[in-house]
Amino acid sequence: MKHETVITLTTTFESHAQETDDGIEFWLARDLQHLLGYSKWENFLNVVSKAKTACEISEQKIADHFADIRKMVDLGSGSQREIDDIMLTRYACYLVAQNGDSKKEPIAFAQNYFALQTRKAELIENRLLETERVSARHKLTSSEKDLSSVIFQQTGSNNNFGVIRSKGDQALFGKSTQAMKSRWKVPIKRPLADFAPTIILKAKDFATEITIHNAREHQLSTEPAISDEHTKNNMAVRKTLLNRGIRPEELPPAEDVKKVERRLASEEKKSMKNPDALDTAGG
């Protein structure tokens, strides 16, 4: 997510925050509906219902975080009518966001925005970047499993999958997997990808997806043929990166993705158990 987008979304979400006479921060569900990109109120209510269930499971009182209200709205004719709305605490908003589709940019932002105990845009941005990297690592793991499966289906064996993957690394980095592990100080038994920055994870995933597609499309039936395809795809991705001024082998390693994943999970668990910390965020 672009820095400018994070700043804009932060400002937008904060501009819709309100306070009760007792100083409790809240958002109106009708506002949050549009902030999260839901066009229909009924569809958004389904997400709110799931959030209430999550609230109950966390042993929090639903009434403390979801307050039903009625309000008057102006109609085009100049008249008014009364509609339903819900006052949502920061914790309630967090649960709503958690039950939304994180592939949608506003929801991915909201999941992190409401989880943090501060509203500083730079911290939100950092957490979003960490979440994006973990997702990219999971995606690469999935595509590599798919490639292994394709190799087995079309050649009858996937014993050389590791060799094929290593050849892909050689083509992408211009160095062997072992050379890059030494450069990045990766523990011997850990995958190189666990310490790769997000752009490399996505580059490897893209090359792998192309290999999967072409192996199926052209019915590549031998491991050498698939290996050659994978090498060419990684070379093509490397060329693109170089053309944009990015040398994969010169990028610094990123933090152990497993450590990042554990930290994010711990923060999420704390947020679920301690809604008061969310409600007083930024105070």
Domain layout of the chain by residue ranges: 3-114, 130-262
3-state secondary structure of 64: helix
Q: With contact defined as beta carbons under 8 Å apart, do 155 and 221 qualify?
A: yes
pLDDT of residue 79: 73
In the chain, DSSP assigns E strands to 18-19, 25-28, 66-74, 80-89
Average of per-residue pLDDT across 206-211:
98
Could you report the per-residue pLDDT of 82-105, keeping only the tens digit for each?
888 999 998 899 899 999 888 888
Question: In whole numbers, what is the pLDDT of the chain averaged over residues?
Answer: 88
Q: Among the listed ranges 64-78, 118-132, 194-208, 227-241, which one has the minimum average pLDDT value?
A: 118-132
CB 38 within 8 A of CB 31: no
Q: At what angle do helices 105-113 and 90-98 cross, to 10 degrees?
A: 140
Residue 281, pLDDT score: 45
101 to each of 20, 96, 97, 191, how far by Cα in Å?
29, 10, 8, 29
Tokens of 193: 């990808």
The rounded distance, in Å, linking the Cα atoms of 273 and 267 is 10
pTM check: above 0.95: no
Phi first, then psi: give them for residue 148, nearest 5 degrees: -60, -40
Residue 210: predicted pLDDT: 98
Sheet with 18-19, strands from edge to edge, namely 18-19, 25-28, 80-89, 66-74
Residue type at 60 in one-letter notation: Q
Q: HSE on the CB side for 208, CA within 13 Å?
A: 26
- pLDDT of 119 higher than 70: no
Lowest mean pLDDT among 13-17, 181-185, 243-247: 13-17
CB atoms within 10 A of CB 33: 21
Instruction: Select from 120, 87, 74 the least CA-distant residue to 17.
Output: 87
C-beta separation of 278 from 25 below 8 A: no
- Alpha-carbon gap, residue 121 to 282, rounded angstroms: 11
| CA 246 to mean position of chain CA atoms | 23
Q: Which of 128, 135, 157, 164 is nearest to 2 (CA)?
A: 128
